[in-house]
Structure 1
Amino acid sequence: MIYAFGAQNYFSFREGMSASFQLSAKVPVSVSQGRRISTVLGIKGGNASGKTNILKGLAFLQEFISDSFSLEDGDGLGFDTYFGIKDESNFFIDFKVGDVRYLYELTATPFSVVREALYKKLQRKTLIVERLEDVIVERSNEFKSLDFILLKSNASLISTAVKYKIKDLPIDFLNIVEYFGNMSGNVTRVGVVPDESMFKRDTASAFYYKVDRAFEFAKNIIKNSDLGIIDIQIQKNELSAGKVQYVPMFLHKVGKSNDTRFLTAFDQSSGTMALYRRLAMYWMVLEDGGVLVMDEFDQNCHPMLLPSLIKLFTDKETNPKGAQFIFTAHNADIIDELGKYRTILVSKEDGESYSYRLDEIPGDLIRNDRSIAALYREGKIGGVPKL
């Protein structure tokens, strides 16, 4: 579970940005559901304000921590500084795996690590390991086996240690890599993945065909979304050379009679098929207790459907493992669904982005009995495009 993450001198954020899921005791129970860490966080702002860069920052940390050892020598880490300035960039992520809370810190240039550190946060903050460039300068005794690994300038210590498969290494690093492996979505460290290639219709159908619970999950949501679909079936077709094709067929009611007709995926709207594909990811993240990162999650989706998708993560019955959902959206009404404790606004001035969570705005402008979306549209709380 993520508590907070952030970056400084990262793409359009020069002074820095941070995103916090933490909820204080002052947050109403109707919002917190008794949790001290939110399971949803929405990001709003004008076009090119820097919203996606926040998600890219999280995706960068996920990929760098868990899989950067796969980078070739000389490859960049996968980020850029504010307008290419030569200063170092700083990153952090505060997260929990199982019963252990960690703080990870990274200082880097776009091509090499300057400093990297991992702390455990139990009764107090305790350093596990710290590196400066390619040398480990501090480590706890239980991690002495790290003395025998060769560090790469463009790879994380955690990813490197796991790839070396060191026998005497405590389980922490492997648990961290597995946790970040459960992060999914349409955002990578270098940008947004097109919806069609993120989870194609064929691969989603193959997944649904093999995992009944996921298929029932997706069918129930689609049938309840007033799309005219009363059932979905998946046909398994044997092709030449041993290949298999999975074809979804959507059953529609015809008129006021009890007559029904099957239609193919090509006869469905782009919104229906986007929902069909994406629900496979939603189910996997909820099942694993992972993190879903989605840019413009409201794209091709009716506004009245958005609250029900968010509720999948806020409701403890559908999200017993505390999976988290962080997203950007253009729909303004979504702010009222999230409230001030779960909404980050992003603005840009003179080419520099800055962000803030709505409960950081002083005074009583934002109240629980007033529509926040109305204030947003009027430009009173920032984060709107200047037209």
Structure 2
Amino acid sequence: MSATKDKSLAESLITPDGKRVLVPVMAIYGANAAGKSNVLHALFLMRDMICGKYAKLLKGEPLPQEPFAFVEGEPEPTEFEIIYYYKGIKYAYGYSFDKERILTEYLYHWPRGREALVFSREKDKYEFRENIQEQTTLAGRTPENRLYLVSSNEWNCAQTEKAYLWFQQSIYGLLDVGMDIAQTISTIQEGGRKKERVLKEMLLADLGIKDVVIHGNKKAPEISTVHCLTDEKGKEAAYSLQMGQESMGTQRFFARIGLWLKAMEEGALLLVDEIESSMHPLLTRHLIEMIQDPQINTKHAQLIFTTHDTGLLDLTLLRRDQIWFAEKDERTMQTEVYALVDFSPRKGENISKGYLQGRYGAIPFIGGGENFWGE
């Protein structure tokens, strides 16, 4: 998400350390089964291995490796690396693993603008630069199928704490086709300013909802929306609907707005698969514009989403370095992810038209020119 020298929409750019310039939003286009969702799933698997369901595997339990399927013989190890900023400090963290063990792991940081090793690992051999004796003890307590970043934080290791907290606090996502409304419900139940913000967004989205009322318990909440109608004499009356009676687009927007607001409040990274699902294009655009607007997104939250909505291929909404494509090589079945800037499009170019014409690749090849329906 590093910004190029593109001058457009410069006001939306982020500088986490006062030097490096990043974009707040990244859109990934591609045909079905091209592999674009795997970019998001990779980030989520990293989070799950660090602070989620795979973080504390018992000794001997298999690691969640899902190797590339289209190879003969033994699969290659899975490798991850991510470079990120937390509280103004740059970190580079990576590791590799197979089904049985962590093979390599390393963490670097730039506390004073210069690269410094925090730790490195090759199987059971570790290297440390600070607090060596204590960290060597912690390394000895780290099972072969667990990350040192995880085990060291179970013992409050100061050297790895901040790098760990970014994964714990700063990655949110909507990768399921279902609707997770838990965060929006939680925000409304907090009441006060937070509930007002949700209701304001529902009104701005022109959904006609004046209030949201929640009854029941956490496992089975009953959600009602309140609509106000005015008759011919000017008399106003309030009517309630169950959330299930609202349109699918309204339900989808309701499910997303709580997480959207939380991500912006925390300055988090928000991952969304098929952002346009069941929503009007203008609602989708509004959610993206919130992240792009520095007056709304004051904590520098970032958004990565996949989409098929060519209406978002608009250079008044997204910069050329914010539009990416995923394309699968039909011979090897491997996915390549590349940016629009690689094609050096002109500022006034119709990106949507060019994409549908195949100018940038990453579209499905339909048919083949033969008459499949003929005799």
Instruction: Return the TM-score normalized by structure 2.
Output: 0.85
Q: Which residue of 2 aligns with 1:133?
A: 123
Note if contact 2:13-2:23 (Cα within 8 Å) is conserved in structure 1.
no
Matching of residue 117 in structure 1 with residue 113 in structure 2 = no
Alpha-carbon distance in 2 for matches of 1:47, 1:342: 20
Matched with 1:75 is: 61
From the superposition, tell whether residues 285 and 211 of structure 1 become closer, same or farther in structure 2 (CA, over 3 Å): farther
Residue by residue over 1:194-226, the C-alpha shift from the partner in whole angstroms, topping out at 9 and shown as x without a partner, is: 423x335xx633431214333222211211222
Match of 1:253 among 229, 240, 250: 229
Larger radius of gyration: 2
**How large is the RMSD of aligned CA atoms in angstroms?**
2.4
1:176 counterpart = 2:156 = no
Distance 1:302 1:206, change over 3 A: same
- Give the Cα separation in 2 of the matches to 1:109 and 1:243: 37
The change in CA–CA distance for 1:252 and 1:44 in structure 2 (over 3 A counts) is farther
Q: 1:328 to 1:245 in 2, by over 3 A?
A: closer
Q: CA deviation at 1:334?
A: 1.1
Distance 1:353 1:243, change over 3 A: closer
Equivalent residue number for residue 161 of structure 1:
152
What are the Cα deviations for residues 24-66 of structure 1, in whole angstroms up to 9, with x where unaligned?
Answer: 3x12152453531111111110000001101111112222233
Measured after TM superposition, the shift of residue 110 of structure 1 is 3.7
Partner Cα distance (1:357, 1:79) in 2: 28
Which of 93, 100, 125 lines up with 1:104 in the alignment? 93
Could you tell me how far 1:235 is from its partner in structure 2?
4.3
Does the CA contact (< 8 Å) of 1:162 and 1:173 recur in 2?
yes
* Pairing of 1:355-370 with structure 2 (within 5 A): 355-361=337-343, 364=344, 366-370=345-349
Match of 1:64 in 2: 49
Structure 2 gap segments, 5+ residues each: 15-20, 367-375
Relative distance call for 1:76 and 1:226 in structure 2 (3 A) is same
Q: Deviations over 1:73-126 (max 9, x none)?
A: 333332312116422232110011112111112122243211100001343322
Match 1:195 to one of 168, 178, 182? 178
The 1:313–1:110 alpha-carbon spacing in structure 2 relative to 1, beyond 3 Å, is farther
Q: What SS does structure 2 have at the residue aligned with 1:263?
A: strand
SS at match of 1:251: strand
Give 1:61's aligned amino acid: M
- Residue type matched to 1:50 in 2? G
Q: Is the 8 A contact 1:339 1:372 kept in 2?
A: no
Residue 297 to residue 212, structure 1, CA distance change in 2 (3 Å): farther
Letter in structure 2 aligned against 1:357: A
> Quick check: 1:250–1:265 contact (8 Å CA) kept in 2?
no
Counting matched residue pairs gives 346
For residues 280 and 305 of structure 1, the distance between their equivalents in structure 2, rounded to whole angstroms, comes to: 15
Give the whole-Å Cα distance in 2 for the aligned partners of 1:258 and 1:141: 72
- Residue 305 of structure 2: which of 302, 307, 327 is its match? 327
TM-score if structure 1 supplies the norm length?
Answer: 0.82
Q: Which position in structure 1 is the counterpart of 2:18?
A: none
Q: How does 1:237-276 map to 2 (within 5 A)?
A: 245=221, 247-253=223-229, 258-260=235-237, 261-276=239-254
Distance between the aligned counterparts of 2:191 and 2:22, measured in 1?
A: 30
Which is further off, 369-378 or 258-267? 258-267
Kept in 1, the 8 Å contact 2:35–2:327? The answer is yes
Match of 2:199 in 1: 219
Residues 63 and 124 of structure 1, relative CA distance in 2, 3 Å threshold: same
Partner-residue secondary structure (3-state), 1:297: coil
Q: Counterpart amino acid of 1:186?
A: L
Say if 1:111 and 1:154, in contact at 8 Å, map to a contact too.
Answer: yes
Tell me which amino acid in the other structure corresponds to 1:159: V
Which residue matches 1:210?
190
Map of 2:77 onto structure 1: 88
CA shift at 1:236, angstroms? 4.1
Query: For the structure 1 residues 46 and 232, does the alpha-carbon distance in structure 2 shift closer, same or farther, using more than 3 Å as the test?
Result: same
| Mean Cα deviation higher: 289-298 or 176-185 | 176-185
Alpha-carbon distance in structure 2 between the residues aligned to 1:335 and 1:312: 17
Which amino acid is the alignment partner of residue 48 of structure 1? A
- Please name the residue that 1:309 is paired with: 287
Distance change (3 Å), C-alpha of 1:346 and 1:34: closer
Give the CA deviation at 1:258.
4.7
* Correspondence for 1:16: none
Which structure has more strand as a fraction of its residues? Answer: 1
**TM-superposition CA deviations, 1:142-179 (whole Å, max 9, x none):** 3542111211222211111112x24xx32x42223322
* Contact in 2 for aligned 1:313/1:323 (Cα 8 Å): yes
